[in-house]
């Protein structure tokens, strides 16, 4: 059974940091693209970042470039998202997801977010206060 379990969300003041984790099981963690997405109330799902499985290329959405860092620990089967200099507009539910063919450029990341392809976790809430 495929499982993705996000954790690490919470309430933080603007300018602060959080580190999200996504523990995975049930699929080949190092043979699939995996990424982070978010959705705020009333807004479309947005691609935050992803890692391409075969060369570890990382891709970021424009709104988080330079502030967020994605990483993976294959031994622990865990994906991370280090979020620094958080802004109120970063508020939302953050999801991790995996899928074979959708990470490699910001456009592909955006299309992945729109399509909802692959397997997804239940999400963790991040709230940034001003």
Confidence tier at 19 by pLDDT (50, 70, 90): very high
pLDDT tens for residues 58-115? 999 999 999 999 999 989 999 999 999 999 999 999 999 998 778 989 999 999 999 9
What is the residue-wise DSSP string for 49-111? EEE-TTT--EEE-TTTTTTEEEEEETTTTEEEEEE-S--GGG-EEEEEEEESS--SSHHHHHH
Report the Cα 123 to chain-centroid distance in Å: 10
d(CA 11, CA 125): 8
- Confidence at residue 26, expressed as pLDDT on a 0 to 100 scale: 87
Question: Is the dihedral angle over the CA atoms 40, 44, 49, 50 positive or is it negative?
Answer: positive
Token pair 């970063």 is at which residue?
90
Helix (H, G, I), strand (E, B) or coil at 82: strand
What is the residue-wise DSSP string for 11-45? EEETT--EEEEEEEESS-GGGSEEEEEEE-TTS--
Token pair 């502030």 is at which residue?
67
pLDDT tens for residues 101-129? 789 899 999 999 999 999 999 999 999 99
User: What is the DSSP code (8-state) at residue 59?
Assistant: E
pLDDT tens for residues 23-57? 999 887 778 899 999 999 899 999 999 999 888 89
């Amino acid at each position: 059974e495929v499982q993705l379990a996000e954790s690490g969300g919470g309430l933080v003041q603007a300018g602060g940091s959080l580190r999200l984790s996504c523990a995975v099981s049930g699929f080949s963690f190092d043979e699939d693209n995996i990424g982070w997405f978010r959705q705020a109330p009333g807004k479309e799902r947005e691609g935050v970042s992803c890692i391409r499985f075969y060369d570890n290329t990382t891709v970021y959405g424009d709104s988080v470039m330079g502030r967020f860092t994605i990483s993976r620990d294959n031994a622990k089967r865990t994906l991370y998202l280090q979020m620094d200099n958080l802004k109120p507009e970063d508020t939302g539910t953050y999801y991790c997801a995996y899928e074979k063919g959708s990470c490699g450029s910001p456009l592909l990341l955006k299309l992945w977010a729109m399509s909802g392809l692959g397997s997804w976790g239940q999400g963790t809430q991040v709230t940034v206060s001003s």
